[in-house]
Amino acid sequence: MTEPDRKAEDVERTEALVRRAREEGTDSFGELYGRVAPALFTWASLRVKPALRSRLDPEDLVQETCVRAYRGFDGYDPERGNFRAWLFGIANHVLQRALLNLSKGPGDARHALADEVTSFIQQIPDEATRASRLAARSDSLEVFIEAAGSLGEEERKLLLYRGLEGLPHHEVAEIMGIETETAKKRWQRLRGRLQEMKAPDELL
């Protein structure tokens, strides 16, 4: 199966999950979230610099994103965008708020995130919390995240924006200040390198 065929099949499966989740309610949230959890954890691990890890844990960032997504899932509208984009929109907001809290003083954003997650974690479907834990403890993800640390700044942005967040090429190009066709070509080259780095199949 070619890459476009795999992508089309993946989109179709995700859309089917979204439809089922809308029909059955948030009981299907866990299965839908589980498909994006590996990318979300990888994204959080790459966005939180090692120097901040003692105050801001990527796993806490992932868990709060999961909590906020679950609590707001009734307001998710598939007509306005896909689930991955919606989830990463929440993740970006959570990260920016945590970084802002860190910049205000010696307060600990890690503790603030953990406290908020603890308040609502019992409400989250087991499948969703299990997906977050599995991603955080995946050996293959750990190996890939470490290898991704060797990427240059531009490659890192392409991995974050295109590979993990799944933004379309024209949005990636706008963020990076390059032409859309340039973004496409650079992503194609990077995909080959990521495959050599043994990026897990479910990640990108």
Query: What pLDDT, in 10s, does the model give residues 107-150?
Result: 555 555 555 555 566 678 788 888 988 899 999 999 999 999 89
Residue 197's Cα: distance from chain center in Å?
19
- Same domain assignment for residues 165 and 76: no
Q: Which residue has the tokens 């089922």?
A: 20
112 plus 123 within the same structural domain = yes
Going by C-alpha positions, the residue among 179, 204, 180, 177 that lies closest to residue 193 is 204
Q: State both tokens at 76.
A: 């998710």
Measure the CA–CA gap between 9 and 192, rounded to whole angstroms: 21
Q: Which residue has the higher pLDDT, 5 or 90?
A: 90
53 with 76, same domain? yes
What pLDDT is recorded for position 16? 73
For 142-185, the pLDDT digits (tens) are 999 999 989 999 999 999 999 999 999 999 999 999 999 999 99
Among residues 111, 137, 163, the one where a domain terminates is 137
Q: Give the domain-ending residue among 82, 108, 137.
A: 137
Identify the CATH number of the domain in which residue 201 sits. 1.10.10
Round to whole Å and give the CA distance between 20 and 32.
10
Last residue of a domain, one of 106, 137, 168: 137
Instruction: Give me 152's structure tokens.
Output: 């240059």
Phi then psi dihedrals of residue 160, to 5 deg:
-65, -55
Say how many domains are in the chain: 2
State the DSSP code for 160: I
Kindly state whether residues 19 and 64 are assigned to the same domain.
yes
Position 51 pLDDT exceeds 90: no
Please, are residues 163 and 67 in contact by the beta-carbon 8 Å criterion?
no
Residues 162 and 100 in one domain: no
Tell me which residue range forms the domain holding 34.
Answer: 1-137
Structural tokens at position 131: 């997906």
Q: What is the pTM of this model?
A: 0.83
